[in-house]
A = this chain, B = another copy of it.
Amino acid sequence: MGTAIDHAEQAAEATKLLRGVGQRVTQPRVAVLAHILASGEDHLSAEDVLALVSEHDDRVHRATVYRTLDGLVAAGLLRHVHLDRGLTAYHLTDPPKAHGSPHLHAQCSGCGRVVDLPPDVLGDTAARVRTASGFVLDASHVALSGRCADCVSLADARTGEDT
């Protein structure tokens, strides 16, 4: 895979996106956004992003990555989900493949894998929650917990530990 060329493309795209939301086009911001665009992954932790960026440019500081990610979320280009155990994962607001923007996430408490879920899996849960508690649900903000098929099979034998 022609990393260099791809990266140039992604950098251009990143620049365009940053301009589009009226953010300054800085070295770290382009790097962060370009690598998120380039990585096939769609749920990256701040630390993941740092690792990706650092492969090509180790002058970008960890703190800057955190600040940049926050900024991109504020600008609406990214969203974040809180996973089990407190990790925060970032993904594009308008992802190429996924189920549309306010989609949900589920994380396997066994292996940590995260999957996207269509926005309508909850059915009329939101209505019931509002009735029961007055809460207005924002279910895309936290990943649901469960066990993926693989881990369920494993758990059958060794009825297991929780997160």
The interface residues of chain A, by DSSP majority, are classed as mixed
Interface residues on A, range: 35 or more
Contact A117 B132 (CB under 8 A): yes
Number of copies: 2
A62 at the interface (CB under 8 A from B): no
Chain B residue numbers with a CB within 8 Å of A41 are none
- Beyond A129-B144, A135-B146: 20 further Cβ-contacts under 8 Å? A106-B137, A115-B135, A117-B133, A123-B123, A123-B124, A123-B128, A125-B125, A135-B144, A135-B147, A136-B146, A136-B152, A137-B146, A138-B146, A138-B147, A139-B144, A139-B145, A139-B146, A141-B145, A141-B162, A142-B145
